Amino acid sequence: MVKFRHDTSEEVVNLATRGLIQMRGGSTSEGARLYNQAIELALKLRDPVLWCRAASFFLYEFARFDKSDLDETAGLIMKVYDRLSPPIKASADDIPALIQRARDVPNVSEMLEKLTSFRNGFLSYPVDSET
């Protein structure tokens, strides 16, 4: 693992990336813990762009499991984003896009519904009496 000097923007990115890897690998609690560390460090560094990015990426990963607080959390992120100066916003236009991706991504229950529908159709092969 790459070691970064503590309290740097690179460490925020490293923590968030490790959080993403953990969440995608199924360790959601560890992933959330690492994302939380990234978000807290961005706050400590007083870097609103890093904070918005880390929070937006976490929002996307979390939305894959649960969207119940998505609009409220997205609103909090956008409140910070909207206060950025126009030149900084122009370089951080990925943040609203990440939030939209979080809204669009199917969550686990939606995926399970689709899989169940597919499975039911797949397993409905006619028995001998129906052929």
What are the pLDDT digits (tens) for 11-67? 999 999 999 999 999 999 999 999 999 999 999 999 999 999 999 999 999 999 899
* Structure token digits, residue 65: 């499991």
pLDDT of residue 68: 92
* Structure token digits, residue 119: 């499975």
Domains of the chain, by residue range, sit at: 9-119
pLDDT of residue 59: 97
Cite the DSSP H helix spans in the chain: 9-24, 28-44, 48-63, 70-82, 86-91, 94-104, 108-122
Confidence of residue 87 (pLDDT cuts 50, 70, 90): very high
pLDDT of residue 130: 55
- CA–CA distance, 42 with 50 (Å, rounded to integer): 6
pLDDT of residue 128: 67
122 vs 106, residue with greater confidence: 106
Is the pLDDT confidence value at 120 over 90? no
pLDDT of residue 109: 77
pTM of this prediction? Answer: 0.80
